[in-house]
Every structure is written in structure tokens, then in C-alpha cells.
Structure 1
Amino acid sequence: MRDVSVLTHAPAGIHPSEGRDAAGALHGGSTTVQRQETSSRFAGEGLTFDDVLLVPRYSPVHPKDTSVASLLTRRIALPIPFVAAAMDTVTESHMAITMAREGGIGIIHKNMAAHHQAEEVDRVKRSESGMIAEPVTVAPGATLREAIRLTERSGITGLPVVEDGGRLVGILTHRDLQFESDLERQVREVMTHEGLITAPVGTSLGEAERILHQHRIEKLPIVDAHGELRGLITVKDIRQRRQFPNACKDEQGRLRVGAAIGAAPRDVERARGLVEAGVDVLVVDTAHGHSQGVLDAVARIREQFPDVQLIAGNVATREGAAALVERGVDAVKVGIGPGSICTTRVVTGVGVPQLTAVLDAVEGAAGQVPVIADGGIKYSGDVVKALAAGAHAVMMGSMLAGTEESPGQAFLLEGRRFKTVR
């Protein structure tokens, strides 16, 4: 662990204004309360990001050779250690796609219907891929209106046309649709079917790019020996692989995405829909992760979905982190009330200064799983301090809430554009 140097000190305890006699008793009016040992009443000194600076030391590493790659969970690597928070004014599919392209990851919030959250996950997973293994398709007997609705819902511009359970008979692109005014016509009437360009299963991306360029087409269906559709390679996916070489992707070349769930028993069904949609990591997202309800939720999710990566939190102590690790989580999320808009500490009087919480959680995790510092990031230097304290990644909310990619409502105030965050 790298050293941190204390710049200023947080108060070590409470200093009452009442008088104190020689025996150490505190006097408040007519009531006398015997003084207890500070160590038994207070956890001790706590430090937050503003309380420390890192000591500069000799470095043989040139900036251009620096890597900030880290881990999100036991099995998920992050090219950059940034996570978009599961807040309804921060992370939906647009934010998650952008974060993953840049090397981070977004956690889709849970303040929506379960099926809607699963659709958001699916939108991220389908946004780009080396090869789309299960492309969205349309039947030749469907109307153009139905096809357009399908493209809008899926965020795509073209549809392979299949019949008899998967046999490719054509492709419907935006060029086929752009001049059509009668949306009740059937897809088979306007789709491209003569001279349809396809490629066999096993075609490499390099060969696919050559075929796409040779025939000046944007989509290349992959078919087997029986003419059944097995995948789809697009110019967009190839272009984005070049534009975002450090994107956070799964083994199939799809962008990674996470989703938040609660700790109630009913959240198992929400989790099931998310797993079916292809979510990479589930996050049991609560204000108090060191509770029996959360520990039970982790056990339920782990039993139902043993292969899914699972993060749980939030905790702020070494005991809380150790308890979650013992239940089988793949990463621990740390932070009780450090967020700029979080009222937990004010309303409940509960919390631990974030830097101390991270240090303690790292000790509790004992190197078995990554630790994610959630909240309190106001400046880029706070990220550095969190990583120096042992965190593998930082989760940010308000830092991202004002971006174009966030779903927060935009408004003008005195000629300046703002976005809501909560």
C-alpha cells in the first residue's frame, strides 16, 4: 500500500462545552455523567480525501508508459478504474455504452421496471460486437411499421429477414425504408433479397471487412451450410473497434455493463431477467451492506446464479467487507454517505470518512476481492487518493451527472445549462 501523508487532521472526538471535574466527570446542568474511555466510545480518527496528500517519490516510469488498468471484480478487468454510479440521473444505456467504450463500466440503476432495466442492459450488449451472435430479426410477413418499431426499440438501422425458424431470405436496411410512405406494406415487398451478400461461419473480422468494402455494404450476415442465420458483422462494429481500442468488452467482443438490484427476495426475479439479457455483473446496492438482509440476498443470488459476477455494498468497516467476502461476493463496494448529495450521515448520524472506510475495507477484504470506492470523488486527485488507499476502482455519480450521456433532465438557469442529479 502506498503511503499517505496527513495534511490536516479530522477531529479525534467530541469536545463537550460542559465543565469537567478533576475526576473526569462531565457536568451538564444537574446531571453528572461519568466519563468513559474514548476508545470505547469512538472508532478513532477518521480521514477523508481532503485530509491527505500523497508524498512525491522517485519514479522511473514515463507518463506514456503508465497503465491504470485494474479489476472491477475477481474476473472482470477494467482498462480504466472508473465506474458510473447506479443513479437514475447518471446511468442508463447511453452512459453505460460510453463508459465501456472508454474502458470503464456503467451500472444501470434499478429505479425502473425490471423488464425496462433488462432492455437497457440488452441495448448495451447489442450496441457493438465482434460478431452479433443473436441479431434482431424480422419475418418477411411483418409490416414495415412493425419493422421500424423494432429498429427504434433496439437502436439499430437494419434487420436480417428470416423465415422457418432462422433461414435467411433477405435483409431490410434503412435505404430500403427511407422513401417508403405506405408502412402497411410487408417486409418481403421492399427487402433486399437478390444478390444478397453473405459469409460462412468462421469468417474472420479481417475477411469480413474485406467483403464489406468490396461490395460497399454495411451489414454482412453470417450463415451456415443450410442457409440459416448464425450472426451479423457490421461496418459500425469494425469502425468502433478501431476508434475505441481500450473498450471494456466481454469474451464475445460485446461491451460490458452492470446492473443494480435490491436486497429483497423479489429481486431474484429482477436478477434473472438481467442475467438473461446478458448482464456482466450484478450489484446488490443498499445503504447498509453489513446487514443480515444484504448477507442473505448475496447468498440467494449466489445460489441462483453461481456464475454471475456479484458486487455488494455499501460497507465502511473491515468487518463489513469481511462479512461480504465470506458470503461469496466478487467485489466489495465502500461508502456510507460520502457522496456530495447523499444525506445518510445528516439524517441518520451514521458513516465513516471515506478514506478511512476504504483503508479499513481493504484490510477486511484481505486481498481476496477488489474494493470499489463509491462516493466522495470531487476532484481527479480524489481518485488518486482512493487508489493509493487500496481501492481498485472508483464509482462516481455527480462527477458524471452533468454530461450529455446522463439521463438527467436538462434545464436553463440564468443562461447556463444544468442537469438534475439526485
Structure 2
Amino acid sequence: MLTFPIEEALTFDDVLLLPQKSDVLPHETDVSSYLTPNIKVNIPLVSAAMDTVTEHRLAIALAREGGIGIIHRNMSIEDQMREVEKVKKAESGMITDPITIRPNQSVKEALEIMSIYKISGVPVVDEENKLVGILTNRDLRFIHKKDYEKPVYEFMTKAPLVTAKEGISLDEAIDILQKHKVEKLPVVDDEGRLKGLITIKDIVKRKKYPNACKDSAGRLRVGAAVGVGPDTMERVKALISAKVDVIVVDTAHGHSVRVLETVEKIKGEFPQVDVIGGNVATAEAAEDLIKAGADGVKVGIGPGSICTTRIVAGIGVPQITAISKCAEV
């Protein structure tokens, strides 16, 4: 009869933290950590890349509180890219690539753009990206449906507009917005080309959510999941073009050759992008992912309260033990 050594393994319900003497007050507590060497989160919360959990609404809400959401991959490449864009454009110190429209486009197109990105206005630029006007909800407030096919230039607020030069500080921008009683401040270069957009809404959000998880440009951070299928690299390229912060190679069994190859390929083609691999539950798996180039390892096979992996397949490791083993690598 074959015998196997059975080790004791623990999950979260099996342990309690031992209270100790502390001189730290609750409001002084710092629970910030690093998702990857390049991505800091101010609260240690990452949402699951599940189609019933994370799309742009949760990702925005979580990033504002200091965590990060991972957009699920059960959608087309274009739809997932759009979800990432919605998070990245939700707020910013200065929007460096604002959504724009041409003066000859229809009002209907402008309304569709504003609805998709949930914005209240768009700068209007010509073929050389020079600012010629701005179209806001205020300009369209009393418009009739019969006017939807008319060009934007008939309704936009035309130049000259209140603008700012490149390099303006946030405090200077606030002074200009308050002085002229406007909500949007286009940033232009010396030739009048649009270089960015500062909005009062973003400034208010910055004060309301001081612990938000943001990138160096002041945009909310967001991740996105990919698989190991034939369209993976196409999906990765699209997500990177949408300014995604981290790619998660997300599979039920992360310790597989296809996952390792995918992580290695992504890091080889896009070394500037952080990549997380998973799901795994052993030190050997964590080590192989790290060797493949992963910037982070997603630990956990079947630990969720609604997950049936361990019940159906009889596979997994209790979560505290799994984390402990992987952390030893």
C-alpha cells in the first residue's frame, strides 16, 4: 500500500491574529502595499477578474478608494479595451489625450461620444489638432432632435476660449477656472494645438478621494485579464494602447506551460508593462512564473466562498499555507 506524507495546511478561518501593545492610532494606520514592484495600492484590495464582478464601474470605485480592479476577459477585445479606457479617462490631473471631435461631425456623434465616456463636453479641433471650440452639455441643453444631424460648429462655443499654456500647475489652473467661472480648461501649445484638458470635476474628485490609486499622470489605475488563446497578443496590444496598468494572465491552473510561455512572450514584447501570472498554490509554480518574467504572482486555487474548484476537482491548497509557501520563493 502506498503512503503519502500529509502536511497540515491552514486557511483564514483556522487562524486569528494575536493582539499586542500598540502606540498607533486608527487614523495613523498605513495599509498601503505593492501589487507589483511598480504599482502601489493604498489599500490591499484587488477585485476579481470575473464577469459578475469587475467592469469599469467597480474598477473606478475601487481605484478611488486606493485599490485596483482587474477587468474580466469574457468580452470582445474592443469591449475590454473600452472598459479600460473608461477607467483611465474617469479622472486625471490633466487629461493628456482628451476625447475630441471635429467641427464638421454631427451633434448626434458628439452626444454618442459624451454618453459612451460619461463626459459633459468635448474640445473641438481641426485637422492639425488646433483648438477651434468646445462643445458642452450647456451648448446642447435646448437642442431639438431635428438638429442632431447638424454639424457641431453650429452649436459649439467658438474660439477664442479661456485656455492655459503647457506646464501650468494645478493651483494656477484652479485660479483660472474660478476667475472665469468655467468648468473645463483646455491646455494648448504656442501654436494653439490642444495638448490636454483640466476639468473642475477632476480637481473636486482629487480632493474627495485623496487615497486614490493613480498613475504618474494622475489617472486611476486599472488592470485587465487575458488568457492563453490565439488572440492573446492582439488583446494585450489593444489593452496597452488603452493605457492599462497591469496585465493579468488569468487561468484556473497557472502552473502550466501555456501560461508560462504567455507571460514570457508578453514580457519579451512589452517589457515596460507589468504582468501578473496565476492562479497558483505552490512554491514551485510561483518560482516558475517569476523565472518566466512575472512581476507578480496570483495565489489561490478555489479559496473563494462561492468557488467549487476544490469540491468538484479535489484540487487546491488552503489559502494561508498557499500564500506562505509562495512567499518563501
Q: Identify the match of residue 246 of structure 2 among 268, 275, 281.
A: 281
Structure 1 residues 214-261: Cα deviation after superposition (integer angstroms, max 9, x where no partner): 111110011111111111000001111100111000000000000000
Question: 1:128–1:254: 8 Å Cα contact kept in structure 2?
Answer: yes
1:24 maps to which residue? Answer: none
In the TM superposition, 1:251-262 aligns within 5 A as: 251-262=216-227
Inter-CA distance 325–187: structure 2 relative to 1 (3 Å threshold): same
Structure 1 residues 152-192: Cα deviation after superposition (integer angstroms, max 9, x where no partner): 11221101011122011100010000101021221111110
2:209 maps to which residue? Answer: 244
Question: 2:131–2:159: 8 Å Cα contact kept in structure 1?
Answer: no
Question: 2:132–2:159: 8 Å Cα contact kept in structure 1?
Answer: no
1:290 equivalent to 2:250? Answer: no
Question: 1:264–1:297: 8 Å Cα contact kept in structure 2?
Answer: no
1:204 equivalent to 2:169? Answer: yes
Structure 1 residues 358-408: Cα deviation after superposition (integer angstroms, max 9, x where no partner): 1111112xxxxxxxxxxxxxxxxxxxxxxxxxxxxxxxxxxxxxxxxxxxx
1:154 maps to which residue? Answer: 117
Counterparts of 1:309 and 1:194, CA distance in 2: 42
2:158 maps to which residue? Answer: 193
Counterparts of 1:180 and 1:253, CA distance in 2: 34
- Give how far 1:318 is off: 0.9
Q: Identify the match of residue 298 of structure 2 among 322, 325, 333.
A: 333
Q: Which sits farther off after the overlay, 100-109 or 342-351?
A: 342-351
Counterparts of 1:222 and 1:293, CA distance in 2: 46
1:86 equivalent to 2:49? Answer: yes
Give the TM-score taking structure 1 as reference length. Answer: 0.76
Question: In the comparison of the two structures, how many residue pairs are matched?
Answer: 327
| Same amino acid, percent of matched pairs | 55
1:401 maps to which residue? Answer: none
Unaligned ranges ≥5, structure 2 = none
1:141 maps to which residue? Answer: 104
Question: 1:223–1:230: 8 Å Cα contact kept in structure 2?
Answer: yes
1:219 maps to which residue? Answer: 184
1:407 maps to which residue? Answer: none
SS in 2 for 1:82: coil
Counterparts of 1:102 and 1:53, CA distance in 2: 26
Counterparts of 2:121 and 2:25, CA distance in 1: 46
- Give how far 1:195 is off: 4.5
Give the TM-score taking structure 2 as reference length. Answer: 0.97
Structure 1 residues 255-310: Cα deviation after superposition (integer angstroms, max 9, x where no partner): 00000000224211101100010000000001111111111111111111111001
Counterparts of 1:323 and 1:209, CA distance in 2: 50
1:356 equivalent to 2:301? Answer: no
Counterparts of 1:294 and 1:264, CA distance in 2: 10
Unaligned ranges ≥5, structure 1 = 1-33, 365-422
1:115 equivalent to 2:78? Answer: yes
Q: Which AA in structure 1 matches 2:88? A: K
SS in 2 for 1:130: coil
Question: 1:265–1:297: 8 Å Cα contact kept in structure 2?
Answer: no
SS in 1 for 2:69: strand
| Aligned-residue CA RMSD (Å) | 1.1
1:300 maps to which residue? Answer: 265
- Give how far 1:194 is off: 4.9
- Give how far 1:38 is off: 3.5
Q: Which AA in structure 2 matches 1:54? A: L
- Give how far 1:146 is off: 1.1
1:381 maps to which residue? Answer: none
1:392 maps to which residue? Answer: none
